[in-house]
Amino acid sequence: MSIGLDQYLMLSAALFATGFFGVLLRKNTLVIYMCLELMLIASTLALVAFSKFNGTLDGNVFVFFILTIAAAEVAVGLALIVALFRRRHTIQVEELNQLKH
């Protein structure tokens, strides 16, 4: 079996779905965070596959922008999680419920 564009896209869609449902269903903020990164990586994989099979380079260039943005997001996100953990001693989603009415 040869690996073509469709296989790459299926893998990418599966990764994206894993990430998406992980964000919705998992309770640990750090795991949610990893799932968010997984979604970005799924997009990156699809982008590289499209770029290769369409014979255009700009998809590859966009990947660098996405990596930079993901890094910035991780930096801010982990800083927030650490600051919150210092005050609340928990990163479980169901215990972060101070904001209600």
Partner 1 sequence: MSTELLQAAAETNQWWAIGPEMILGCAALGLLVLEIVMPKDKRKLIPHVAMMTLLVVLAGVGLNFDTEWKDQELFGGLILLTDAGQVARVFFLLSSLLVCYFGTVCLPRARAPRVEFYHIVLVVTAALMLLAQSNHFVMFFVALETVTIGFYILVGYYRESTRSLEAGLKYLVLGALSSAIMLFGIVLIYGAVGKVGLEGGAHTGFEFSVVADFLRHHPDNFLATAGALLVLGGVAFKIGAFPFQIWIPDVYQGAPTPVTAFLAVSSKAAGFAVLLTLVHRVFAPLEGVLVPLLSLLAAATIIMGNLSALTQHNTKRLMGLSGVSHAGYLLLGVTASISVPWAAGAVWFYLFTYMLASMAVFGVMAHLAGADDADQELEHYERLARDRPFLGAVLAIGVGSLAGIPPLAGFMGKLLLFVAAFQAHLYWLLAVALGSVVVSIYYYFGWIKAAFFESWQPSGNATSPSVRPVPAAPSWVGVAVMATLALATVLLGFYQAPLTSWLLK
* Residues 35-64, mask of contacts with partner 1 (x by CB under 8 A): -x--xx-xx--xx--xx--x-x-xx-xx--
Q: How far is the CB of 29 from partner 1 (least distance, A)?
A: 7
Cα separation values, 56 from 5, 51, 53, 62, 87, Å: 14, 5, 8, 11, 49
Say if CB 91 and CB 29 are below 8 A apart.
yes
Q: Which of 28, 30, 88, 92 binds partner 1 (CB under 8 A)?
A: 88
Contacts of 31 (CB under 8 A, 6+ apart): 22
- Contact status: 89 vs partner 1 (CB under 8 A): no
**Can you give the binding site for partner 1, defined by CB under 8 A?**
9, 16, 19-20, 23, 29, 32-33, 36, 39-40, 42-43, 46-47, 50-51, 54, 56, 58-59, 61-62, 65-66, 69, 72-73, 76-77, 80-81, 83-84, 87-88, 96, 98-99, 101
